[in-house]
Amino acid sequence: MHPADIVILVVLALSLIFGFWRGLVREAISLTGWVLAIYLARTYNEPMAAWLAQWVGTPSIRLVMSYGGLFLGTLVVCSLGGYAVSMMLRAGGLSLVDRFFGGVFGVARGFVLCLVALMLMAPFIVNDAWFREAQLPRAILKYESVARHLKDQAITIIRSPNTSESASH
């Protein structure tokens, strides 16, 4: 087995173990937390920085503190919420199901991480001998067109105006 294949298998295995350990609920809340943290930090960075002006005089420091505080604060709150929900599932006897699907989520996350890494490296590695010899990198890159399509769809959805309000009136 080629070393590149082993690296990919290790990434998938570690992601599976981490997903199983945390469970699907915590994994999903964590992923949501990251998206929410980025959104809140980008949206409310300047108002928070303006509020911090009464204590911090340097504008650049205010912006860094504001962005970091919003981002990290959101991650902490979501992490605590995920932990609380996970404990409720454990108390309800659903821990094994949660962990099983967390492992499935972990494998999917590991696959996506490998796919993104290979997509970024592809222009530089496609002619290398190791790339031709390894099996998994080429197999994973077969999903590049799907990833690009999903990325384009996500960008379209994000940039489109909110039509739910106009449809309800």
According to the model, what pLDDT value does residue 166 have?
44
According to the model, what pLDDT value does residue 157 have?
79
One pLDDT digit (tens) per residue for the chain, 169 residues: 999 999 999 999 999 999 999 999 999 999 999 989 999 999 999 999 999 999 999 999 999 999 999 999 999 999 999 999 989 988 888 889 999 999 999 999 999 999 999 999 999 998 999 998 999 999 999 999 999 998 888 888 777 765 544 444 4
Whole-angstrom Cα distance, residue 7 to residue 82? 30
According to the model, what pLDDT value does residue 51 have?
96
CB 26 within 8 A of CB 103: no
According to the model, what pLDDT value does residue 104 have?
97
Q: How far is CA 151 from the centre of its chain?
A: 14
- Which of 21, 25, 15 shows the shortest CA–CA distance to 92? 25
> Is the full-model pTM beyond 0.75?
no
CB 78 within 8 A of CB 27: no
